[in-house]
Structure 1
Amino acid sequence: MAPKITVIGTGYLGATHAAAMAELGFEVLGLDVVPEKVELLSAGRVPMYEPGLEELLRRHVQGLEGATGRLRFTTSYQEVADFGDVHFVCVNTPQKHGEYGCDMRYVDSAIESLAPLLTRPALVVGKSTVPVGSAARLAARVRELAPVGEGAELAWNPEFLREGFAVQDTLHPDRIVVGVTSEDAERRLREVYATPIGEGSPFVVTDFPTAELVKTAANSFLATKISFINAMAEVCEAAGGDVVKLADAIGHDDRIGRKFLGAGIGFGGGCLPKDIRAFMARAGELGADQALTFLREVDSINMRRRGHMVDLTRDALGGTLLGKRVAVLGATFKPDSDDVRDSPALNVAGQLQLQGAQVTVYDPKGMDNARAVFPTLVYAASAMEAARGADVVLHLTAWREFGELDPAELGEAVAVKHILDGRNSLDPELWRKAGWTFRALGRPTA
C-alpha cells in the first residue's frame, strides 16, 4: 500500500512539495501553523507567485470541483501524526537576526510538536536547508520524544528548487539526494520517488552530513560563479572589455559552462545570500572557517554590485540624485517570481530614494511584496507609466516583458533617453538605434 504523506510548513517549498506529491499519486496532508494560509491553500490558492503551482494545487485539493481530492490542509499536528507514514519537514530556516548563522527555531519547533505524537512507525524527512550536524541531533530528538521509539526514524532529503521552475524541479528533479541511516528509510524514499527515479532522475544515497552539505555546497558554487563574472565585469570596465563576450568565450569551455555567467547587479533571494553566510558561520563552529574564507569575498563582490549601480545612476544624472526622476524596472530578485527577499533591484531603488531621487518602480508580479518592504517608493501599473518623465531608466530584473519593450515607444514617455541595464539582457544596438544612451555593467559605453 502506498505511504500516506504529510508536509509540515506550506510556504514556498512546502506548498510545491505537497501539490507535487499529490500529482505523483499519493494521499497528502499539509500542515501550517498559520490558519489563514491553510484557508487559502484549501481554496486552491497559493500565497506566492510560482508558474504552474496554482493549477497543480487546484487539480488535487479536496472539495474543489473536478479535483482528485488527494490533497488537504490542516493546522493540527495530531491529525498529521495520525494520518501520515512519511512526514516531510519543509519549514523556513532564515538567517538569524544580526548574525550570519541559521535560525533553526522553526525546524526544532516542528520536530518538538510532531515527534511526541508518533505512536506507530514513521519516517520524518527533513527538506529544509540546515547547518551540517543538525540531522544527527534531530534524529536523536525524534527517537527520544516519540512513543514508538526506534520506530520513528529521520532522513535528510535536501530540496533543489529554482524559483520560477519549482513545479518542474519537484516532479522531474535533476537529482534526488537522501541522507539515511537504515535500508528501510532508503526503501521508503525510493517508494516515494519511484516515478522520477523511473524517468531517470539520479538517486544519490549518502550519510547525514553529506546530504546536509549538498544544498549549501551547490549554492556556494553558484554564488561563486556569479561573483566571479561580476568581478570580471569590474575588470572589463577598467580595461574597456566586454564582459558578455568574455562570458560567451569562456562559457564554450565545457569545464566552465555558460550558465550563471550573467554579469549584473548580483544575486539575492531567500536562499543564496543566507545559505552562504550560514555555511561560513557553521564552518567556523566546526573549526573549518579557513576553508570558506573565499565566500566572504563572494558575498562582498555581490553586495558591491548594488552600490556600483547607484554610482552609475548618479553619474548618468550628472553627479547628483537630488530631485531627479528615476524609473526602476523590476523589484523581484529574479524574473518569474514575486519574491523580493534580499532583492538587488529593490535594494538599489531604496538606496536611490534615500539619496534624494524620486523613484518609481514597476514589476510584473512583485508589486505587493515590494510595497510591504519599501512603502515609501512610488509604484506604477506599467513600465510605460514608471518611465513617464524619467531622467534615467534602470533595468534591474530580467523579466521577458522588459526585453520586449519598444525603445521608440518608451522614448516618447521619458524626459531623457538614458537607460542603464543592470542585467545585461537588453540589446544595446536596438536601444542605441532608437536614440537612447545605453550603459550596461562591464560593457563598452559605445
Structure 2
Amino acid sequence: MRMTVIGSGYLGATHAACMAELGHEVVGVDTDPAKVEALSAGRAPFFEPDLEPLLRKHTETGRLRFTTSLAEAARGAAVHFVCVGTPQQPGRPAADTSAVEAVVEELAPLLAPGAVVVGKSTVPVGLAAALRRTVLAGGAEGADLAWNPEFLREGYAVEDTLRPDRIVVGADRPETVEVVRAVYADAVSRGTPFLTVGLETAELVKVAANSFLATKISFINAMAEFCEATGADVVDLAHAVGYDDRIGHRFLKAGLGFGGGCLPKDIRAFQARASELGLGRSVGFLGEVDEINTRRREKTVDLAHEILGGRVSGRRVAVLGAAFKPDSDDVRDSPALDVADQLYLRGAEVTVYDPEARETARRHSPRLSYADSLAAAVEAADLVLLLTEWAEFVAMDPAAVGDRVAHRAILDARNVLDPRAWQEAGWTYRGLGRG
C-alpha cells in the first residue's frame, strides 16, 4: 500500500520505518530539511534501539523515502498517517494541537479519492471530529479520517509497532476501518486484538492509559513517602503488594518518578480538557499524581544535601543518567536532568554521564559538565547519584567505582542496586523509600 507518514519525530520516523518493514511503500514528510537529509541517509536523528537498521534497509531499497514536500508525498497515496507532536502549551497545561490542525488543513485538498487520513498524535477528545470535517470538506470523493492512537514505549518503539499488544481504530465508516485493518494485516493475522471504536473513544484511550500508569507510579511513590517516615522498605512493600493479580508488579516501582514527552504532558492536557468540558472534578486526582511525581525530584535533591552533610556548594556530584528512561536519548521533562540542574543551582560541581543522552542533555542544560564515560564521571566525586537505570549503571562494581571516588556515598534514586553489596564494599547507600 502507498502511504505517507507526516512528522518524523520519535513516533513518525519509527512508524515510517516499520510500515516499510511490513511491505508498504512509504514516504515520510517533515518540515526540517536536516532531519529529512539524515533520515534519507538511513540515520535516525535520535537514539532508538533497532531503528537505524530498518531505516538503512528500506531507504536503500527505495521502499522508504523522505521529503519536505507534502504535496509531492500525497500524490497517489491511499493512507496518510499524522504523527506530528502535540506538546504542552507554554505556560498552560493544555496540549498545543496547532501542528496537527495545520497538517490536516494542508492535506485535505491533496487527497486522492478514497484516501484515509489516520491520526496517531495524542489529541484532546473532540478534535478528531473537527479534523474529520476538514477532510470531508476537502472534496475528495470517499476520503475519510480515522484515529489510531499509538502506544509506543521509547526504547521498545520498533517492537511495539511491529508487534503491538492491541490496535485501536476510531472511525465512523466500516470501509474506513477496513483500510486501516489492511495496513496492519500482518499483526491482525497473528492474532493482535483489533478494536473498533468511535473517534472520541480512540482519542481517550491513550490519555486514559497514560493517566492510569502515571497514577500507579505516583501511588507507589506516595507509599515511599510513608516508608521514609516510618522506616519501612518500599521495595519490599511493592514486591508484596504486586503479587495481588489485580494489581501486578509492573509500574509498581518506587523511585525518582516519571518524565518524558508523554506521561507528564498527557495527564496535564487531560485535566485541561476535562475542565473545558466541566469535568475537572472527575480527574482532579491527576493533579496530586503530578504533584507526587514532582516531590520525588525535590526529595532526591534534599536527600543528596543530607548525605553531603548539609553542604552542597563546591562538592563534586556525579550524576549517572540524563535521559528520562534507559534506552533513550530523550531528556524532555527528565527527572534526572531536573535533579542535576537543581544541585547545580545549589552550588554543586555536577558531572553528568549518560550512554546515549549526552548531546541532547548538553543542548538542554549546557551549564552542566558532561563526561564521556562512567569512570570519568565518578572521578573524585563526593556523591554518586544513580538517576536513570541504564544497564551499565545497574551492573556497576562497587569496589571498582569506589577506587575512583573521593567518598563512597551513593544515592540510588531508582532502587536498582543491591544495598548489601554496596554497603559491604564500604559505601554509604541510600535509596528512595527505603527507611
Please classify the TM superposition score into its range, dividing by the shorter chain length: over 0.9
Identity %: 63
Which residue of the partner structure matches residue 205 of structure 1? Answer: 196
Deviation, 1:76, is 1.0
After TM superposition, the structure 1 = structure 2 runs for residues 375-414 of structure 1, keeping only pairs within 5 Å, are 375-414=366-405
| 1:132-178, Cα deviation, whole Å (9 max, x unpaired) | 0010010001111x131x52200000000000000000000000000
Query: Could you tell me how far 1:119 is from its partner in structure 2?
Result: 4.2
Structure 2: which amino acid aligns with 1:134? L
Describe the superposition over 1:283-333 as per-residue Cα deviations: whole angstroms up to 9, x where unpaired: 000111100100000000000110100000000011121111111000000
- Listed as ranges, the gaps of 5+ residues in structure 2 are none
User: For 1:219, which of 196, 210, 217 is the aligned residue?
Assistant: 210
Cα contact 1:395–1:423 (8 A) shared by 2: yes
Aligned to 1:88: 81
Give the alignment partner of residue 291 of structure 2, picking from 297, 300, 305: 300
**Map of 2:90 onto structure 1:** 97
C-alpha separation in 2, matches of 1:49 and 1:418 = 31
Provide the secondary structure at the position in 1 that maps to 2:284.
helix
TM-score (norm 2): 0.99
The answer on whether the counterparts of 1:117 and 1:147 sit within 8 Å (CA) in structure 2 is no
Pairing 1:158-237 to 2, within 5 Å after superposition: 158-237=149-228
1:331 counterpart letter in structure 2 = A
Is 1:120 the counterpart of 2:109? The answer is: no
**Residue in structure 2 matched with residue 72 of structure 1 by the alignment:** 65
2:139 corresponds to = 147
CA distance in 2, matches of 1:143, 1:81: 16
Matches within 5 A, 1:181-330: 181-330=172-321
Equivalent pairs counted in the alignment come to 435
Aligned partners of 1:370, 1:27: CA distance in 2, in Å? 35
Paired AA for residue 403 in structure 1? V
Spell out, residue by residue over 1:225-267, the C-alpha distance to the aligned partner (whole angstroms, 9 max, x if none): 0000000000011111010010010101100000001101110
Report deviation, 1:117. Answer: 1.5
Q: For residue 58 of structure 1, what is the aligned residue in structure 2?
A: 56
Task: Map residues 401-440 of structure 1 onto 2, 5 A cutoff.
Answer: 401-440=392-431
- What is the CA–CA distance in structure 2 between the aligned matches of 1:222 and 1:83, rounded to whole Å? 40
**1:350 matched residue in structure 2:** 341
Query: Quick one: distance in 2 between partners of 1:398 and 1:178?
Result: 34
Alpha-carbon RMSD across the aligned residues, in angstroms, is: 0.8
1:105-136 per-residue CA deviation (whole Å, 9 max, x = no partner) reads 11011111111212422100000000000100
Amino acid in the other structure paired with 1:38: V
Can you list the C-alpha shifts for 1:31-83, whole angstroms capped at 9, x where unaligned? 1111111111000000110000001111111xx2xxx3211111111112213
Tell me the amino acid that sits aligned with residue 59 of structure 1: K
Structure 2: distance between partners of 1:75 and 1:56: 21
Give me the TM-score of the superposition, normalised by structure 1.
0.97
Contact 1:119 / 1:147 at 8 angstroms: preserved in 2? Answer: no
Q: Which residue of 2 aligns with 1:14?
A: 12
- 1:431 CA drift (Å): 0.6
Q: Which runs of 4+ in 1 moved over 3 A?
A: none
Residue 46 (structure 1) aligns with: 44
SS state of the match for residue 152, structure 2?
coil
Q: Structure 1 regions of 5+ residues with no counterpart? A: none
**Does the 8 Å contact 2:78/2:112 carry over to 1?**
no
| 1: CA distance, partners of 2:111 / 2:20 | 23
| 8 Å CA contact 1:46, 1:54 repeated in 2 | yes
Q: Which amino acid aligns with 1:11?
A: G
